[in-house]
A and B are shown apart, each in its own frame.
Chain A
Amino acid sequence: MGERRKQQRKVVTRRDFLRGTAYGTLGVALGLKTVGCSAEATEKGALPVPDDKSALFAAENPTSTLVLIRDKAAVNADRWVNPKVVAAMVDTAVKTLAGEKSTDRAWAEYFRPDDTVGMKITVRVHTAQEIIDALSAGLRSVGIPRERIIVKDRDIRPHAKDFTALINATTIKAHYVTGVAAVLKNYINFDNNYLKYHPNSGVNLGSLWLRPEVKGKTRLVVVDALLPYFGRGDERNLSHRWPYKGIIVGTDPVAADAICVRLVQEMRNRYKGEEWLISPPPRSIAAADTKYKLGTSDPTKIKLIRLGSKEDILI
């Protein structure tokens, strides 16, 4: 009986996840207290966790670099988004990411005048129009005309074959089925049968990025972190929207999602006053790293450049 059981596929359980022996570095990204605490777990393959947690997202020789910019004036108490402030945030973030002092040269690092750019936004937790406008302005600064900047959500697929470049312009949302819906999940509309990606907590979401009409086209990942949704229920529940007033910019979708996961987890913990673990674990992030090779999910290999307001930065 024992041997037969061993030969059967081992079920990954909550215990494996909490020990850090499952789903790669996801537990580290979530800040689970139990990860890295057990010698036994280390023997079983748990990844080591730095003693100094501030070392996370602060890699000195990073595999991926992203920019987080926040401004208190980006969103007011009535949740009105300030377009001028947001436009400045987007430009500053892109310049920082590109290592350029000029906005025009920064955008030219990522886009060409002859590009046809698909901007994949989200509607249910809507990408702020102010961010969309700022991104469009940036593309036009490179010389791309309006008619070749295609902003779409659910109906993006028919246009996909025409795109030479993509911007993933998503929001952050805790998700009933996949744990978190942010950068990786944003491309779900490139497949008409999007429900097939929900089983197993969305573990195969990374495969969307390898579709021929998508693969290799994403030049920029922009995460609208102005008002992330961190709850479990209706996304329109305003009490589950956090006025974070941030924007995250990078080129690594997996690293961006790892940061989003950490933010959502911190928001949930603070809201409840105790650990309110994202459930189910967003396995898509680990798989996007190890199986689909789309980027890194390891917080010790990511550098997050933090600009602007540091108040309640959470990460």
Chain B
Amino acid sequence: MRLDELLPAGVDGWTPAGDDEVYDRETIFDYMNGAGEIYLAYDFRRMLVREYTRESGPPIVAEVYEMSSSEDAYGIFTHDTDGDPVSLGQGAFYAAGLVRFWKDRIFARVIAEKETDEAAAAVMSLGTKITEAVPGEGNEPRLVACLPSGGLLKESVRFFHKQVSLNCHYYLADSNILNLGEKTEAVLARYRVGDGKVRLLVVRYRTAEDAQAAYEQFVQSYFSDEADVPGPIHIHEVEGAEFAGARLVDRFVTLVFEAGDEETCERLIESVAQRTEKVFQWEKDANSKER
């Protein structure tokens, strides 16, 4: 895929200013300093940056990121979902002259330095042309389908692989107690339950053994005051009169935080277990045959 062909020659009077800039996994820091680590936490391949200018308007910058998979394009898209949902690609948010969207393996941002009515329209026009140029659509991560739907706050869904991403969204510990890495998949989401909100984290590991090791490490670290011996499920009252829970099923570790009661923990954990079995049934059958 040629990234420069995804971008139009111009839109609404804005035309390219200067040469395109291309960055890869080695050089992304030259463009965005340490923030590049967030992209490297996914299988980011390369990006292209094009600035557009117009005599009577603010500069507009288009950034097009190529990821190795649509799942990772979706993932980096979920890193920041503040703003108003708009119809672009397979998911998009707009706020204050910035639109972010994903389609297939592409994640893109179009930013106006200053939000005027014309610049906002041009930002959306650029976004539309980019999405039209991306030939196909890609899949969301299957793990996202394991999230129970009742009470789900959809804009809170985050998909990622590594500790650095989890830390950014929800600090759990000063070390990688869930053994997250490039081979793991994780989805984090919030739910409205009564007057409160609950957090759910589901991690899928490459093997059941990996999940077991991570689960035991988590329980020993997080419930060190409550749990002497790990079992397949733990639910405990923690600080702030809240409840936290953890459950291990095959390759999946499910965690619940900030629940108001035990029942909420149990209900969410059980619901995830049922959905993971349904979504990943073929995998379980394949494993059984191998044994």
Q: Which parts of A10-26 form the interface with B (CB within 8 Å)?
A: 10-15, 17-19, 22
User: How far, in angstroms, from A15 to B239 measured CA to CA in the complex?
Assistant: 7
Whether B98 and A238, one on each chain, are in contact in the complex, defined by CB atoms closer than 8 angstroms, is yes
Whether B174 and A11, one on each chain, are in contact in the complex, defined by CB atoms closer than 8 angstroms, is yes
A176 within 8 A of B: yes
Whether B37 and A279, one on each chain, are in contact in the complex, defined by CB atoms closer than 8 angstroms, is no
Count of A interface residues, CB-CB < 8 Å: 47
- The smallest C-beta distance from A8 to any residue of chain B, in angstroms, reads 9
Whether A19 and B239, one on each chain, are in contact in the complex, defined by CB atoms closer than 8 angstroms, is yes
Whether A176 and B240, one on each chain, are in contact in the complex, defined by CB atoms closer than 8 angstroms, is no
Q: Which residues of B contact A231 (CB under 8 A)?
A: 80, 82
- The smallest C-beta distance from A279 to any residue of chain B, in angstroms, reads 5
A233 within 8 A of B: yes
B177 within 8 A of A: yes
One digit per residue, 1 when the CB lies within 8 angstroms of any chain B CB and 0 when it does not, for chain A 178-201 equals 000000000010000011001011
Q: Which of A13, A34, A233 contacts B172 (CB 8 A)?
A: A13
B173 within 8 A of A: yes
Q: Which residues of A contact B233 (CB under 8 A)?
A: none
One digit per residue, 1 when the CB lies within 8 angstroms of any chain B CB and 0 when it does not, for chain A 217-252 equals 000000000000001111111111000000000000
Q: Given that A176-B35, A236-B98 are known contacts, is A279 also in contact with B80, CB under 8 Å in the complex?
A: no
User: How far, in angstroms, from A124 to B83 measured CA to CA in the complex?
Assistant: 22
A309 within 8 A of B: no
Q: From A154, A177, A188, A233, name the one whose CB has the most chain B CB atoms within 10 angstroms.
A: A233
**Please, which residue of chain A has its CB at the minimum distance from the CB of B29?**
A195
Whether B174 and A200, one on each chain, are in contact in the complex, defined by CB atoms closer than 8 angstroms, is yes
Q: Which of A11, A18, A78, A279 contacts B177 (CB 8 A)?
A: A11
Q: From A41, A175, A176, A236, name the one whose CB has the most chain B CB atoms within 10 angstroms.
A: A176
**Please, which residue of chain A has its CB at the minimum distance from the CB of B165?**
A176
Q: Which residues of B contact A38 (CB under 8 A)?
A: 239
**Please, which residue of chain B has its CB at the minimum distance from the CB of A44?**
B225
Whether A232 and B173, one on each chain, are in contact in the complex, defined by CB atoms closer than 8 angstroms, is no
B238 within 8 A of A: yes
B46 within 8 A of A: no
Whether A14 and B172, one on each chain, are in contact in the complex, defined by CB atoms closer than 8 angstroms, is yes
User: How far, in angstroms, from A17 to B238 measured CA to CA in the complex?
Assistant: 13
Q: Which residues of B contact A188 (CB under 8 A)?
A: 34
Q: Given that A13-B173, A14-B173 are known contacts, is A201 also in contact with B167, CB under 8 Å in the complex?
A: yes
Q: Given that A5-B220, A238-B96 are known contacts, is A12 also in contact with B174, CB under 8 Å in the complex?
A: yes
Whether B167 and A124, one on each chain, are in contact in the complex, defined by CB atoms closer than 8 angstroms, is no
Q: Which of B37, B109, B171, B240 contacts A280 (CB 8 A)?
A: B171
Whether A236 and B111, one on each chain, are in contact in the complex, defined by CB atoms closer than 8 angstroms, is yes
- The smallest C-beta distance from A247 to any residue of chain B, in angstroms, reads 23
Q: Which of B32, B96, B222 contacts A15 (CB 8 A)?
A: B222
Whether B240 and A18, one on each chain, are in contact in the complex, defined by CB atoms closer than 8 angstroms, is yes
Whether A198 and B34, one on each chain, are in contact in the complex, defined by CB atoms closer than 8 angstroms, is yes
B249 within 8 A of A: no
Whether A232 and B95, one on each chain, are in contact in the complex, defined by CB atoms closer than 8 angstroms, is no
User: How far, in angstroms, from A176 to B163 measured CA to CA in the complex?
Assistant: 12
Whether B111 and A280, one on each chain, are in contact in the complex, defined by CB atoms closer than 8 angstroms, is no
A215 within 8 A of B: no
B38 within 8 A of A: yes
One digit per residue, 1 when the CB lies within 8 angstroms of any chain A CB and 0 when it does not, for chain B 214-254 equals 00000011101000110000000011100000000000000
Q: Given that A13-B177, A237-B98 are known contacts, is A198 also in contact with B37, CB under 8 Å in the complex?
A: yes
Q: Which residues of B contact A79 (CB under 8 A)?
A: 114
Q: Which of A15, A37, A280 contacts B167 (CB 8 A)?
A: A280
User: How far, in angstroms, from A188 to B224 measured CA to CA in the complex?
Assistant: 36
Count of B interface residues, CB-CB < 8 Å: 42
Whether A233 and B82, one on each chain, are in contact in the complex, defined by CB atoms closer than 8 angstroms, is yes
Q: Given that A177-B34, A195-B34, A238-B96 are known contacts, is A279 also in contact with B224, CB under 8 Å in the complex?
A: no
B152 within 8 A of A: no
One digit per residue, 1 when the CB lies within 8 angstroms of any chain B CB and 0 when it does not, for chain A 277-291 equals 101110100000000
A33 within 8 A of B: yes
A2 within 8 A of B: yes
Q: Which residues of A contact B37 (CB under 8 A)?
A: 176-177, 195, 198
Q: Given that A34-B240, A176-B35, A194-B34 are known contacts, is A237 also in contact with B173, CB under 8 Å in the complex?
A: no
Whether A233 and B79, one on each chain, are in contact in the complex, defined by CB atoms closer than 8 angstroms, is yes
User: How far, in angstroms, from A194 to B34 measured CA to CA in the complex?
Assistant: 8
Q: Which residues of A contact B113 (CB under 8 A)?
A: 236
Q: From A79, A231, A234, name the one whose CB has the most chain B CB atoms within 10 angstroms.
A: A234
**Please, which residue of chain B has its CB at the minimum distance from the CB of A12?**
B174
Whether B238 and A283, one on each chain, are in contact in the complex, defined by CB atoms closer than 8 angstroms, is no
Q: Which parts of B146-198 form the interface with A (CB within 8 Å)?
A: 164, 167-175, 177, 197
A-B residue pairs in contact (CB < 8 Å), sample of 23: A5-B224, A11-B174, A12-B173, A13-B174, A14-B222, A78-B114, A79-B114, A124-B32, A177-B37, A177-B164, A233-B80, A233-B100, A234-B80, A234-B109, A237-B80, A238-B95, A238-B98, A239-B83, A279-B167, A279-B169, A279-B170, A279-B171, A283-B174
Binding site for A on B (CB under 8 A): 29, 32-35, 37-38, 79-80, 82-83, 95-98, 100, 109, 111, 113-115, 164, 167-175, 177, 197, 220-222, 224, 228-229, 238-240
Q: A11-B175, A124-B35 are in contact. List 5 more A-B contacts (CB 8 A).
A: A14-B173, A154-B33, A176-B164, A232-B79, A232-B80
